[in-house]
Amino acid sequence: MGKFTEDDLKKELETKEYEYGFYTDIESDKFPVGLNEDVVIAISKKKNEPAWMTEWRLDAFRIWKEMTEPEWANVRYTKPSFQDISYYSAPKTKKKLDSLDEVDPELLKTFEKLGISIGEQKRLSNVAVDIVMDSVSVATTFKKTLNERGIIFCPISEAIQNHPELVKKYMGSIVPKTDNFYAALNSAVFSDGSFCYIPKGVTCPMELSTYFRINEGGTGQFERTLLIADEGSYVSYLEGCTAPARDENQLHAAVVELIALDDAEIKYSTVQNWFPGDKEGKGGVYNFVTKRGLCEKNAKISWTQVETGSAITWKYPSCILKGDNSVGEFYSIAVTNNFQQADTGTKMIHLGNNTKSTIISKGISAGHSHNSYRGLVQISPRANNARNFSQCDSLLMGDKCGAHTFPYIEVKNKSAQIEHEATTSKIGEDQLFYCNQRGINTEKAIALIVNGFGKEVLNKLPMEFAVEAQKLLEISLEGSVG
């Protein structure tokens, strides 16, 4: 074999198709495009929602109508037209499912293609999966095992029916309807999502997982996740996302709310691999997500994200450290290639005493992409002995991409201790040479170095997904050195 040059690599990468870009031929029940109060009511009706929920949605819709799209993010795109989107699309073969065997075989095939064969996971990795396809939850596995411990893990539409007291109490308490443009839109039209409640003192025995997929063209996915960890409980939660390759831009505007009550711990991991658009930057998913968690006393919330997909990512998983001694963590790898743009980061709001937060953000940009870190660390006047450590590193591949950092640090208490550092560099030629010299080809060497670069974050992922994430990194990046 001749020398595998960087140009070869580049070519290979450019011609590389999106692996998850297939479309499943499942007949789906889809609303006509457009958004008005009738559509909101229709969605609510479709879900058999109680009147208070319909009212809640309509309220959100009225708020949304008054709002304008945010412009401040460091991304450029043609704005989606909100009247050209269908706000509801469900696989038609929906019926009450008790076990996996009753799931449409066509659907199962889809998941197998995705590499998340439910059956396999059930057997091997002991993971409970809730799958949301085109905004509708199709299967929740392991319900029985979880029920025994009093853990509620179900589609949010079911939770609205069966646990209205919890939903009423917590939904919108962390991300209010008025929070921002996309959160308001989501509050009005969300079709499904996951709901999870861990009772007092319970350690969830397995990883909980949700898989999101946009299948139908011209639809938007608006899911809503609500996760409540009661006092002293622990849960680790993972979400994964894919979408088929399409020319037009698909919209994804999700809201995730986490509540960690006293002494609880939530670990929330995301592997996001929405369709990033082709190499000309055509198509791809617009990913506008609002994620926020609240920590009560001694509670801990840890966000881990691996972002490799989406044409536009606009996402700031945040922690409100309200209780004393609470801890917030944010670990992120964002990879952008071709014409992808990512503006991601976190907000750590320190309100309680002795609160701690850690931010590790790794950005990798290649091709013509732009990768921004935007983070806020805020220490309120009453938060004594707050501690923050932030590190954001960027790796640039080629001279047509950009890496940007916009950290905001606001401190109003003298006992705070804040450290922030950021670096930008490229893959060292000496490092590559060292690897080549030992018989590792350039492609492998880059994967090796990038994995090393992101190791601090990858280590935080649950075992089963760390491997998948590493592979994703390699796929998105291989040889983009120019």
Partner 1 sequence: MELKEKLVSSFLAFENKGNIDLDSTVHAIRLKAIHNFEKEGFPTKRDEEWKYTSLNPLLKNDYSLFPNAEKSVGFKNVKDYLINEIESYTLIFIDGVFSSFLSETTHENCDVCVLSSALARPKYKMIIDNYFNTIANKNSSLAELNTAFVKEGAFINIPKNTIVPKPIQIINFSTGSEKEVLLQPRNLVVVGENSYVQIIERHQNLSKNTTLTNSVTEIFVHKRAIVDYYKIQNDTNESSLIDSTFISQKQQSVASVNTFSFGGKITRNNLEFYHEGEHITSNLNGISILNEKQHVDNHTLVDHKSPNCESHELYKGIYADKSVGVFNGKVIVRQAAQKTNAFQQNNSILIDDGATINSKPQLEIFADDVKCSHGCTIGQLDESALFYMQSRGIPVKEAKALLLYAFGNDVVEKIKIPQLKTLISKLIAKKLNVQLGFEL
Interface residue list for partner 1 (CB under 8 A): 72, 381, 394, 396-426, 482
CB nearer to partner 1: pick between 159 and 427: 427
CB of 182 to partner 1, least distance (A): 20
Q: Quick one: which H or E segment has residue 140?
A: strand 136-140
CA angle 317, 333, 308 (to 5 degrees): 95
CA angle 329, 173, 188 (to 5 degrees): 110
Beta bridge partners of 336: 365
Residues 276, 305 contacting (CB under 8 angstroms) = no
CA torsion angle 364 256 152 91 (round to 10): -90
Structure tokens at 214: 């946009």
CB nearer to partner 1: pick between 281 and 407: 407
CA angle 162, 168, 170 (to 5 degrees): 110
CB nearer to partner 1: pick between 27 and 410: 410
**Rounded to whole angstroms, what are the CA distances from 390 to 124, 271, 328, 374, 420?**
36, 22, 12, 12, 5
Phi, psi at 166, each rounded to 5°: -70, -45
One-letter amino acid at 7 equals: D
Closest CA to 23 of 134, 137, 135, 104: 134
CB of 292 to partner 1, least distance (A): 21
- Neighbour tally for 347: CB within 10 Å: 20
CB of 374 to partner 1, least distance (A): 10
CB of 369 to partner 1, least distance (A): 11
CB of 397 to partner 1, least distance (A): 6
CB of 342 to partner 1, least distance (A): 14
The alpha carbon of 241 is separated from its chain's Cα centroid by a whole number of angstroms, namely 8
* Burial class of residue 51 (count of CB atoms within 10 Å of its CB; 0-12, 13-18, 19+): exposed
Structure tokens at 9: 């690599």
CB nearer to partner 1: pick between 178 and 391: 391
CB of 207 to partner 1, least distance (A): 36
* Burial class of residue 366 (count of CB atoms within 10 Å of its CB; 0-12, 13-18, 19+): buried
Beta bridge partners of 90: 29
CB nearer to partner 1: pick between 48 and 423: 423
**Rounded to whole angstroms, what are the CA distances from 72 to 53, 76, 343?**
32, 10, 10
CB nearer to partner 1: pick between 50 and 402: 402
CB of 225 to partner 1, least distance (A): 31
CB nearer to partner 1: pick between 249 and 372: 372
CB of 413 to partner 1, least distance (A): 6
CB nearer to partner 1: pick between 131 and 395: 395
CB nearer to partner 1: pick between 208 and 392: 392
CB nearer to partner 1: pick between 164 and 482: 482
- Neighbour tally for 407: CB within 10 Å: 17
**Alpha carbon distance 320, 347 (integer Å):** 8
CB of 353 to partner 1, least distance (A): 13
CB nearer to partner 1: pick between 213 and 368: 368
CB of 22 to partner 1, least distance (A): 34
Structure tokens at 168: 């009423």
**Alpha carbon distance 354, 301 (integer Å):** 15
